[in-house]
Amino acid sequence: MIGSGLAKSARCWRRCYLLAFLLGIAAGVGAIAGLTWAWWALAGVLVGAGFPGAVWQARWPGSYERRVVWPALRRAWRKRVQLVWPEVCREAGLSSQRTVKARDGAGSVQVWTPPVLREVSASGVWVDVIAQVRMGQTPDELIAAAPRFAAAMNAQSVATEQLAPAVVWLRLVMCEPLRVPVTAAVPQHVELDRITLGRQVDGSPWSMQLIERHTLVVGASGSGKGSVLWGICGGLAPAARAGLVRLYGVDLKGGVEIGMGEGLFTTTAETVDEALVVLRTLVGVMDKRLARMRGVERLHRPAPGEPLHVLVIDELAALVAYSTEREKVAEATKLLARLLSAGRAPGVLVLAFVQDPTKKTVEMRGLFTQTVALRLRSAEEVRMVLGDGMTDVAPAHKISPATPGMGYVVQENGTAVRVRADYWPDGLVQHIGHDFPAPVKQPVVHVVPAPGNADNGGSRPARSPRKPRSPRASRGLRSDAATRSDDGEAS
């Protein structure tokens, strides 16, 4: 999808082609009516320029945008920076003023000297400006004027950074290609290393590494955590069906989210007790794998029968902070911390979602190896989620509630990128839950205590195991069982 600036530019070019084409026809008619050869030449040039351009634009809009519209827009942005720079600097009080003699020697003129524009370049949907402050100025003065440049350039947003003691970098984001939502498609291929979740601000695909990573996604209510959750689980669906991945879902908000695509999951948990069973089982799997790997390999490679185990927790705070059952919360926190600290190498990964990073979850933040910040409520939350110094370059607290699924990720090279997850409507989630059933099902089996026995450990009445889905379920995870005979996998 293209942003409004791009759409405007495309419209403008379309009009030019149409005009060239019509003028060409008019010149041709003039030539037929007996005018000179010059009219024939004009007609040829105009029709020759207008017609192929119009056909290219109509027939191959993607390549036309890439090769014609974007380069023209970027050229125009660069020129505009050169144009507005002296004026904005003067208005912002950044230029120095001198009176010099006029060239003709008659009288004097005022000369304004702005900070030096060292480099102006444009790529993607932004313009990068590198400027050097004048003697006696501080970089902070230039950084404080950044919103004025953004307004003068009609930019959507501006990011700043001090590159050297006297050098400042400004990135003006000129149009918003992520404004229009895109609906996700049914995944076609087994993807394991990187899962494609949506688009980056420059229009390229946004993909995220999953293997060797524990992922934390933070976003206020309604920020679109569901689309990241289903982007990852849906993206893993072909691998799950092929037996390369097992998904375990913990959804303590009544199972509303994970229940939509329950078929994808090997096990789902909706109470703290069920979640504890899943956590104990995965810690057991992890410990056994680690013991097997010792001295043999350092990183587990997923294979059928030796799958990657992915624990998906919707609303992490419900598990480690909100529950009033303190002993259970303490155990869950401990088990989760073990998975987060040792699960990466043996292929037992955690993918957690949370609304509020200020609660106890923040204690665990350091154990996650990658973080996605969707819309947050304050600059302080951005700092908590993405780290110090990120509020300017990844202003997740400024994301509009009208663009759910939009957020910031910090790449391996340390730069922050704005992204938007594709939207997963309920029907699509149900569809993949149905079409990509987990080959192994291990429902949590509650052991009903004998009358008069101690607490059955459940916060809701014991229930009979869920009916296994096809293919036939393996033995379930027992709420009284801490370990399994094998990896915890199907026997």
Give 400 or 415: the residue with its C-beta nearer to ligand ATP: 400
Of the candidates 271, 225, 266, the residue with the CA atom closest to the CA atom of residue 248 = 266
DSSP character for 66? Answer: I
Judged by CB under 6 A, the residue of 95, 215, 333, 355 near ligand ATP is: 355
Minimum Å gap between C-beta 238 and ligand ATP is: 21
Residue 124 backbone zone (phi > 0: left; psi -120 to 50: alpha; other: beta): left
Place of tokens 């688009």: 199
Please check if 219 is assigned to a binding site.
Answer: yes
Size of the site for ligand ATP (CB under 6 A): 15
State which amino acid sits at residue 219: G
Minimum Å gap between C-beta 254 and ligand ATP is: 11
User: Does residue 57 bind ligand ATP (CB under 6 A)?
Assistant: no
Judged by CB under 6 A, the residue of 214, 225, 344, 484 near ligand ATP is: 225
By DSSP bridging, strand 370-373 and strand 215-218 are parallel
Minimum Å gap between C-beta 379 and ligand ATP is: 20
How far apart (Å, rounded) are the C-alpha atoms in residues 194 and 208?
Answer: 5
Place of tokens 């073990």: 338
Minimum Å gap between C-beta 6 and ligand ATP is: 20
Looking at 102-110, 335-343, 419-427, 460-468, which segment touches ligand ATP (CB under 6 A)? 419-427
DSSP character for 183? Answer: B
Minimum Å gap between C-beta 223 and ligand ATP is: 4
User: Does residue 226 bind ligand ATP (CB under 6 A)?
Assistant: yes
> Cβ distance 260 to 314 under 8 Å?
no
Minimum Å gap between C-beta 222 and ligand ATP is: 4
Looking at 2-10, 13-21, 221-229, 378-386, which segment touches ligand ATP (CB under 6 A)? 221-229
Give 225 or 280: the residue with its C-beta nearer to ligand ATP: 225
How far apart (Å, rounded) are the C-alpha atoms in residues 212 and 301?
Answer: 10
Of the candidates 377, 350, 417, 371, the residue with the CA atom closest to the CA atom of residue 221 = 377
Judged by CB under 6 A, the residue of 224, 255, 357, 488 near ligand ATP is: 224
User: Does residue 124 bind ligand ATP (CB under 6 A)?
Assistant: no
The token duo for 85 is 């720079």
Give 134 or 365: the residue with its C-beta nearer to ligand ATP: 365
Of the candidates 194, 229, 232, the residue with the CA atom closest to the CA atom of residue 355 = 229
Q: For residues 454-483, which are near ligand ATP according to CB under 6 A?
A: none
> Cβ distance 471 to 263 under 8 Å?
no
> Cβ distance 129 to 170 under 8 Å?
yes
> Cβ distance 196 to 151 under 8 Å?
no
Give 124 or 404: the residue with its C-beta nearer to ligand ATP: 404
Q: Site map for ligand ATP, 174-203, x if CB under 6 A?
A: -------x----------------------
Please check if 220 is assigned to a binding site.
Answer: yes
Q: In the chain, what is the straight-line distance between the N-terminal and C-terminal CA atoms, in Å? A: 48
State which amino acid sits at residue 89: C
Minimum Å gap between C-beta 436 and ligand ATP is: 20
How far apart (Å, rounded) are the C-alpha atoms in residues 116 and 137?
Answer: 12
DSSP character for 417? Answer: E
Give 248 or 423: the residue with its C-beta nearer to ligand ATP: 423
DSSP character for 145? Answer: T
Judged by CB under 6 A, the residue of 245, 258, 421, 445 near ligand ATP is: 421
Minimum Å gap between C-beta 9 and ligand ATP is: 25
Burial class (CB in 10 A: 0-12, 13-18, 19+), 11: exposed
Judged by CB under 6 A, the residue of 85, 368, 423, 436 near ligand ATP is: 423
The token duo for 318 is 């419900």
User: Does residue 222 bind ligand ATP (CB under 6 A)?
Assistant: yes
Minimum Å gap between C-beta 316 and ligand ATP is: 11
The token duo for 108 is 């004097």
User: Does residue 205 bind ligand ATP (CB under 6 A)?
Assistant: no
Looking at 132-140, 214-222, 290-298, 317-325, which segment touches ligand ATP (CB under 6 A)? 214-222
Residue 368 to residues 207, 308, 341, 351, Cα–Cα distance (Å): 18, 17, 9, 9
Task: Output the DSSP codes for 98-125.
Answer: EEEE-TTSSSEEEEEEPPEEEEEEEETT
Distance of CA 108 to the CA centre of its chain: 56
Give 9 or 227: the residue with its C-beta nearer to ligand ATP: 227
Looking at 100-108, 166-174, 341-349, 421-429, which segment touches ligand ATP (CB under 6 A)? 421-429
Minimum Å gap between C-beta 251 and ligand ATP is: 10
Please check if 226 is assigned to a binding site.
Answer: yes
Judged by CB under 6 A, the residue of 404, 437, 439, 476 near ligand ATP is: 404
Distance of CA 128 to the CA centre of its chain: 22
Minimum Å gap between C-beta 407 and ligand ATP is: 10
Binding residues for ATP: 219-226
Binding residues: 219-226
Binding site for ligand ATP (CB under 6 A): 181, 219, 221-227, 355, 404-405, 421-423
